[in-house]
Amino acid sequence: MSFPWSGPAGNGLSARTLSLHSPAIQGLSAAAMGALLLASAGKHFRDPGFYRDVVPEYLCRRDPEPGADQSAGANHPLAILSRDEWIAVSGLLELAAAVGILLPPTRKLTATALTAMFTAFLAGHVDALVKAYGPQGTPRRRKIHSIRLPLQAPLILWAWNLRKPVQRAPQLGGGV
């Protein structure tokens, strides 16, 4: 998508096309994504409870109590971390992505990884929404998770869009 743009008269700038994939717009978009990820990563450590509901139970390792029967309550094969460990790991991943998305040489790889991460997070958001509307759900949780789930779609599309290489906007009118 592009938008025609011309600078103020008499400044020597020729008419240009401002593209969503221009270096300036893509850099600004990457900086905004980086800031969002940095804020989110910080919240993982300041307020981990905010993320507890979106870590599905089947991902959470249950360590048996000392002296308890080891076969009771077997873990799901994907349950390799505790809920708190998943929250911390995802916070660290978001911190790394906040840096990676800002660097043009790593932007495409980071944006691809973010697209996958945000897509994977859908499972947790769906699980949280189902639980919010279940017998133990509360009106507050229903509202929160009804908002959080659809917010994943723009994040996925935004990350995917940052994968595209920066394109120089063509000069119109033969100007240099």
Model confidence pLDDT, tens digit, residues 64-117: 767 666 565 678 888 899 999 999 999 999 999 999 999 999 999 999 999 999
Distance CA(96)–CA(38), nearest Å, equals: 9
Any residues with CB less than 8 A from the CB of 167 and at least 6 apart, and which? 19, 21, 22
- Residue 176's Cα: distance from chain center in Å? 39
Average pLDDT over residues 37-41: 98
Helix (H) and strand (E) counts in the chain:
5, 2
Its pTM stands at: 0.77
- Compute the CA torsion angle 46, 27, 109, 49 (nearest 10 deg): 10
The domain ranges of the chain are 21-161
